[in-house]
Structure 1
Amino acid sequence: MKIRDMISKGEPTVSFEIFPPKSSYALETVFDTLTELKDLHPDFISVTYGAGGTAQSNTVEIASRIKKDFGIESIAHLTGCTSTKEGMKRTLASIKDSGIENILALRGDIPQEKLADKNWKPEYRYASELIDDIKAAGDFSIGAACYPEGHVDSINKVDDLKNLKRKMDHGADFMITQLFYDNDLFYQFKEKLELVGIEQPVIAGILPVLNIKQVKRIQEISGCNLPPKFLRILDRYAHDPASLQEAGIAYAVDQIIDLLSSGVDGVHIYTMNKPDATRRIMENISCVRKAVCRKEPQR
């Protein structure tokens, strides 16, 4: 089923993200994770795009098996910045042959070695160019990434919104946000989308914080705002890993309940392949999830 059709039903989706292993021999660990996640009844599961040939093919295989073996809709991530047009054509053909109906189109992060090479020129400069080729390859439901606090590489937030508008105008059906910890910033972002004429649904990306190292990494990659409530949690439990994990899960639960109660189009949980934490979150939001939906989750 296409994600655009799920969202059109008017009920918020709840979905997960997982990532493939760096090598094929570890594939079974991902399927063990999926066995646990299946019981939580997500509307769909996304699979990130690996940074090498083996990992890239694993993305397609995992997304295909999520749908065929686990009975859950899947969405495969595709990144364009280091891909060739010819290579992308083959990948899209493989995705289509595998029965995958949904793709998240991303520019991707440019590796440092590419940035240092003055002769290197990407064949896909923008995600919108990748979206064009995805549309030409078949009838996929296409998602795009969006950034409530602006992309770290953007000149400013106006430029960031222009880039997002270009992606939507080129044919993206919906958006999934980068992680954020301040729901007010998300609601403000939604208002800005309306002002620039972006009407496609927005799925909120939530990453539960489980350890201090993770927080530092998040700050390095995204530069996202950490609100006072969040900082108080970090300060109080910085030297108590078990309590920090409990508090991180509770914070994510509060975020999701607020989003669902406010009429969000969907919530996408970045699981980091940790089903136990994801299960805790789903158990705590189950009543609210049922209340805002007219039907029970798929079984």
Structure 2
Amino acid sequence: MKIKDKFKIKNPLISFEIFPPKANYPVDTIYDSIDELYSLYPDFMSVTYGAGGSTKDRTIEISSHIQNKCNLTSIAHVTCISSSRNEINNIINSLKKNNIHNVLALRGDYPKDAAYTPPNDGFKNSVELIEYLRKNTNLCIGAACYPEKHPEAYDLNADIDFLKRKADSGADFLITQMFFDNELFYDFYDKVHKKGINLPIITGIMPILNKNQINTILNLTGNMIPVKLRRILDKYENNPVALTEAGISYAISQTIDLLSWGVDGIHIYTMNKPSTAKKILGSISAIRGVLTNESKSS
């Protein structure tokens, strides 16, 4: 089923993101995690790439397993910065062959290889990829958005202008990068709608499970850490077990606030840890049920 059609029958959606195992690990090592996540009844599951697109083939293989073996809607990440049009066409054909109807269209990170040169017939950015997919496929296309702006954007307004181009090029819905301050998302949401972007926006939640994780996130995204979360990180930095529990509790409170506000969906970056997703969904099950019932009756 296409994700854009799910919004017509249910709101909010609950989804998970997983990533393939490293290239030197068997692909089936992820399947137990998928089975556990499937038991939580998500509305869809997304499959990302490894660093530098290193697990691109596995992304489609795992997405196919979710779609065809588990009978659960999957969405495959597709990046374009290193891909020729012929390579993207091969991905499109593979998606069609595997009955995958949803993609998250991304530029992707530039390769770190200093000798890298982009393909002559490649794509400069995600807008060009979205345009190409919309013109040449019947896929449901998701796009990324950044409540605190993309790290390379001049400012948030410029980034929202670029987001408008994604919407106008054919994106069907949006998934945010992780954020830790809901007020920043609410401000972003208002700005987006004032620009005439009226696509469903699914909010990305990343539970903080260890202190190294937060440093990695900050280096990659530059996200702001609210005072409340910073206090938690400082208090429990030398107590890994307590930090994990406190990080999950923060994600739960953040999720409940977003659901109460009325977001279109919650997308949990699971880090391939089903136990974390179970704790979050277990704590929000009551409000999730109420909101789902309201959606059905409206």
Whichever residue aligns with residue 249 of structure 2, its letter is: A
Contact 2:101 2:140 survives alignment (8 Å): yes
TM-score by length of 1: 0.94
Matched residue SS, 2:88: helix
1:31-77: CA deviations, max 9, x gaps? 01101111111000000024577721111111011011112110000
Q: Provide the residue aligned with 2:284 in structure 1.
A: 285
5+ long unaligned stretches in structure 2? none
Please give the alpha-carbon distance, in whole angstroms, between the structure 2 residues aligned to 1:195 and 1:98.
39
Contact 1:64 1:98 survives alignment (8 Å): yes
* CA RMSD between the two structures: 1.8
* Deviation of the 1:102 alpha carbon: 0.4
1:166 aligns with 2:174: no
Please give the alpha-carbon distance, in whole angstroms, between the structure 2 residues aligned to 1:118 and 1:98.
31
Contact 1:101 1:141 survives alignment (8 Å): yes
Please give the alpha-carbon distance, in whole angstroms, between the structure 1 residues aligned to 2:135 and 2:96.
12
Matched residue SS, 1:167: helix
5+ long unaligned stretches in structure 1? none
Q: Provide the residue aligned with 2:201 in structure 1.
A: 202
Please give the alpha-carbon distance, in whole angstroms, between the structure 1 residues aligned to 2:98 and 2:250.
37
Q: Please identify, of 49-58 and 141-150, the stretch whose mean Cα deviation from structure 2 is larger.
A: 49-58
TM-score by length of 2: 0.95
Q: 1:28 to 1:10 in 2, by over 3 A?
A: closer
Q: 1:71 to 1:245 in 2, by over 3 A?
A: same
Q: 1:118 to 1:32 in 2, by over 3 A?
A: closer
1:138-193: CA deviations, max 9, x gaps? 21110000000000011222221111111110000000000000000000000000
Whichever residue aligns with residue 88 of structure 2, its letter is: M
Q: Provide the residue aligned with 1:269 in structure 2.
A: 268
Contact 1:179 1:206 survives alignment (8 Å): yes
Please give the alpha-carbon distance, in whole angstroms, between the structure 2 residues aligned to 1:7 and 1:296.
10
Q: 1:219 to 1:52 in 2, by over 3 A?
A: closer
Count of residues in Structure 1 that have an aligned counterpart in Structure 2: 295
What is the 5 A alignment of 1:180-259?
180-259=179-258
Contact 1:238 1:244 survives alignment (8 Å): yes
Q: 1:118 to 1:36 in 2, by over 3 A?
A: closer
Identity of counterpart residues, as a percentage?
46
Contact 2:11 2:292 survives alignment (8 Å): yes
Whichever residue aligns with residue 182 of structure 1, its letter is: D
Please give the alpha-carbon distance, in whole angstroms, between the structure 2 residues aligned to 1:61 and 1:244.
34
Q: 1:286 to 1:53 in 2, by over 3 A?
A: closer
Matched residue SS, 1:15: strand
Please give the alpha-carbon distance, in whole angstroms, between the structure 2 residues aligned to 1:3 and 1:78.
16
* Deviation of the 1:11 alpha carbon: 1.2
Please give the alpha-carbon distance, in whole angstroms, between the structure 1 residues aligned to 2:87 and 2:238.
47
Please give the alpha-carbon distance, in whole angstroms, between the structure 2 residues aligned to 1:85 and 1:168.
21
Contact 2:52 2:111 survives alignment (8 Å): no
